[in-house]
Chains A and B, each alone.
Chain A
């Protein structure tokens, strides 16, 4: 385990810096948005009332003090009260979180289950029709805008073929199209990477040795190749999982999926800034935590990365 601790220390430091920068941007943006007090009070509120609320929210204090207070509150998960829901913003966001996690995990699982076998088959049957078709599709999947992919799925699968519901969240049938939309990009990337990682390994000397020993091709692929191709696959897979969060905003909006992405967009329309800030902050924490966990896993799996 030599070297793991400095590696971890460096990663923790980077994660904390990223979190601090994100919260600072959130604070600056919030200040740019102007005085929130008129939003909280009826339009005919007397000046004394306005001053009272300003003092109550700490808005009459100097900016550096406000910044410190904001950071302290954010660390404790306190983002103020939601104007629309009349509850603490953090509680609102936490209520919407399970739907997003469900969608994200489903998308991720779907991407893995489809992409890894396809990538393997494409590598083993290189230059076959299957290889060309699936890699062509993967290229389209990587460049297609997520929101339009969702619209296309609704149009073809839900409306034309009538197979699956267009929106909402009750039951697994509602989950398929959003998960496919959200997972498409990851699916395409993982399939392409699995293929190239497999091709790389299939050329290695020990694979030739295994074949020369008279092992069956299936055994060569299953036992020797996949095991050695796994490290890059795990890495890219982990990275993809983190970036799913960004796509959730769009996917949830297209399919009216009641998660934090759609909540963020609706809160923007409601001018409910505490909820917007809390969503951005919480997503950052989640994203950074996931990446950190993957780094950790990777550092344990493959000692070579600790050097980097």
Chain B
């Protein structure tokens, strides 16, 4: 899932005569990145405003109105623009509320992964030696394994819950942050002014805040965006497998799972949350790509 690397980008950039078309390309990328960011912002607003936007209570069941197709005048006398599910719950309201789970888990996982990754990356960079070797070995080992299998095993044993989910999804993505920070620290460590700061009694924290972070901020933003897309898809996948957010809380993955049995009679139950999930995943990962092209072209090769 960590693969929305625009493989075509470097070739394209090199092929163009740099002077003539690059500025227009950059302007276009900026516009695209901004529209991607606007989409994420819109999603956040929808998640916050779900109670006011939703036409109905997302967990209110209605036996009379179950499995109704998209309609403005349902059997229960209410409008269901995206239909109702097998318990008569309004699909539109559930999709709107479902954005909350996706975003809360997604952002929380990014924060967890970022904090763990940043800490370990800084530790590896500053300490060097055994600590560095150990941390980087674990990072390599983690990348050498399909993490979803481990995630499934861990959640199966610990039981699905919000903290477990955030922890597992977050920890699945710490490596990229650690690598960026470690590389930056190593690059700085050879510079004399760092020695001077330490000699003058400056703390490591000060070095990190004043010299390390400003240099890697744009890389971190890019990685965090790509990680957000990955976390949202992973949450939906785990919820689909029954290992994520548990019913009756609406989540996109869970809704797709619930609608599976009714695919031939009530296609809308799975399809609408799925399309929203797919669009979210596409836009967020593309936004990451655009941000990378804009802020940090050096990351492309990774």
Interface residues of A (CB under 8 A from B): 14-15, 17-18, 21-22, 25-26, 29-30, 32-33, 135, 139-140, 142-148, 151-152, 154-155, 159, 185, 189, 192-193, 195-197, 199-200, 203, 236, 242-243, 245-246, 249-250, 253-254, 264-265, 268-269, 273, 276-277, 279-280, 283-284, 287-288, 291
Contact = CB atoms under 8 A, between A and B. Distances in A.
Given A143-B282, A155-B271, A18 B140 contact: yes
Interface stretch (B36-44, B61-69, B256-264): B256-264
B241 A250 contact: yes
Given A145-B236, A151-B260, A249-B241, A139 B277 contact: no
A199 B10 CA distance: 10
A199 B15 contact: yes
B99 to A, nearest CB: 15
Given A135-B8, A151-B256, A268 B278 contact: no
A78 B156 CA distance: 21
Given A32-B157, A250-B240, A250-B241, A189 B3 contact: yes
B286 A249 contact: no
A242 B11 CA distance: 26
A44 B12 CA distance: 71
A284 B145 CA distance: 6
A287 B137 contact: no
Interface residues of B, number: 52
Q: Is the interface of A mostly helix, strand, loop or mixed?
A: helix
B144 interface: yes
A22 B143 CA distance: 11
A196 B13 CA distance: 11
A6 B8 CA distance: 34
B138 interface: yes
Contacts of B233: 143, 145
B72 interface: no
Nearest to A185: B3
Given A143-B285, A144-B281, A245-B146, A17 B240 contact: no
